[in-house]
Each structure stands twice: as structure tokens, then as C-alpha cells.
């Protein structure tokens, strides 16, 4: 695979889940380990901790999953994604959201978001997202893709 700005190693091993609920990181660990037994998932409850904590200074995350962050989602999202990519240079960014925002899909490439997945997608869809990100591709889950096309929008 040629080197591209967004390439990450096949089957990213180091994953950071940012979500208000710790159970989400455990679920991701179980889902991703069915695809990649070496996957290690770490957890923090908010974006600001991920950006400021010395614990993550040399972490080398391959994938960062942003879950429910109602206080910053989606108003400050582009700025926060930029900061996350600045701190974790090789990481891809996946939004794992319960609410749909067509502006996120329209601006995914520009904002640096690599995947947008609904929290209630089937496990197979989340595995598929992981595999697509592992291959260096961007991805929008089926639920969000359907909503996007039903609103008559084009990517």
C-alpha cells in the first residue's frame, strides 16, 4: 500500500475511546479483538483529558473513537479533531454518535474525520468500519449513509 497522509498500519493495535461511558471502551475491545487479537483499547471520559493528559503523551494511538461528548459535539468538533490529530499524528478519527448531523458527513474530508458510525449499528457494521479504517479508507455507516441519501444530499 503506498504511503498516504491518512494511512495507518493494517489492523490498528492502539485505540483510544473517548466516551462518557466506560462500557463503550470494553465493547470496542471485544468487537475489535475479533478482527485483530493484538488490539488494545484505552479509555478516557472526555476529549480535553485526552488532549491534556501526560499519560497519553507517547501513546502512539492508531485510532481515536469519539463517542458521546454532548458538551462539545458537534459545535467545536472540527477544532477538537484538529487538536487530536495534532497531538496524535498517526491516529485516524472515528465518531461513534447516537445523533445524526448531515453537516458532519458533508465536511468529513475537510475536518479530518475518517469514520462516522451510529452507536446502534450492528456489530458487523462496526467491524466493517474497523476493517475499512485499517485499509486506509474513510467510512460512513449504513444508518448515516441512508439518512444522508434520504435527505437528498450528495457526498
Q: Give a yes or no: residue 141 inside a domain.
A: yes
Q: Which domain holds residue 72?
A: 14-150
- For position 144, which CATH number holds? 3.40.50.2300
CA–CA distance, 96 with 114 (Å, rounded to integer) = 11
Cell 454518535 -> residue: 97
Tens-place pLDDT, residues 85-137: 999 988 999 998 888 888 888 888 888 899 999 988 888 898 899 889 988 89
Q: Is 55 helix (H, G, I), strand (E, B) or coil?
A: helix
Instruction: Work out how many domains the chain is built from and give that number.
Output: 1
Tell me what the pLDDT averaged over the chain comes to: 82
Q: Give a yes or no: residue 135 inside a domain.
A: yes
Higher pLDDT, 70 or 131: 131
Q: Give a yes or no: residue 155 inside a domain.
A: no
CA–CA distance, 98 with 83 (Å, rounded to integer) = 23
Q: Give a yes or no: residue 59 inside a domain.
A: yes
Q: Give a yes or no: residue 142 inside a domain.
A: yes
Sign of CA dihedral 60, 62, 23, 144: positive
- The sheet carrying 40-44 orders its strands as 40-44, 14-18, 63-66, 92-97, 115-118, 139-140
Q: Give a yes or no: residue 5 inside a domain.
A: no
What's the longest Cα–Cα distance across the chain?
A: 45
Q: Give a yes or no: residue 8 inside a domain.
A: no
The whole-model pTM stands at: 0.84
- Tell me how crowded residue 63 is: count the other CB atoms within 10 A of its CB: 27
Amino acid at each position: 500500500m503506498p504511503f498516504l497522509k491518512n494511512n495507518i498500519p493494517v489492523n490498528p493495535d492502539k485505540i483510544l475511546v473517548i466516551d462518557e461511558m466506560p462500557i463503550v471502551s470494553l465493547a470496542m475491545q471485544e468487537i475489535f479483538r475479533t478482527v485483530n487479537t493484538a488490539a488494545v483499547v484505552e479509555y478516557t471520559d472526555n476529549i480535553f483529558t485526552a488532549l491534556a493528559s501526560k499519560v497519553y503523551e507517547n501513546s502512539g494511538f492508531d485510532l481515536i473513537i469519539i463517542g458521546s461528548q454532548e458538551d462539545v459535539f458537534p459545535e467545536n468538533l472540527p477544532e477538537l479533531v484538529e487538536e487530536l490529530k495534532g497531538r496524535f499524528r498517526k491516529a485516524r478519527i472515528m465518531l461513534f454518535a447516537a445523533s445524526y448531523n448531515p453537516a458532519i458527513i458533508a465536511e468529513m474530508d475537510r475536518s479530518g474525520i475518517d469514520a462516522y458510525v451510529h452507536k446502534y449499528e450492528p456489530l458487523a457494521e462496526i467491524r466493517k468500519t474497523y476493517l475499512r479504517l485499517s485499509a486506509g479508507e474513510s467510512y460512513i455507516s449504513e444508518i448515516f449513509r441512508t439518512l444522508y441519501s434520504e435527505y437528498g444530499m450528495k457526498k
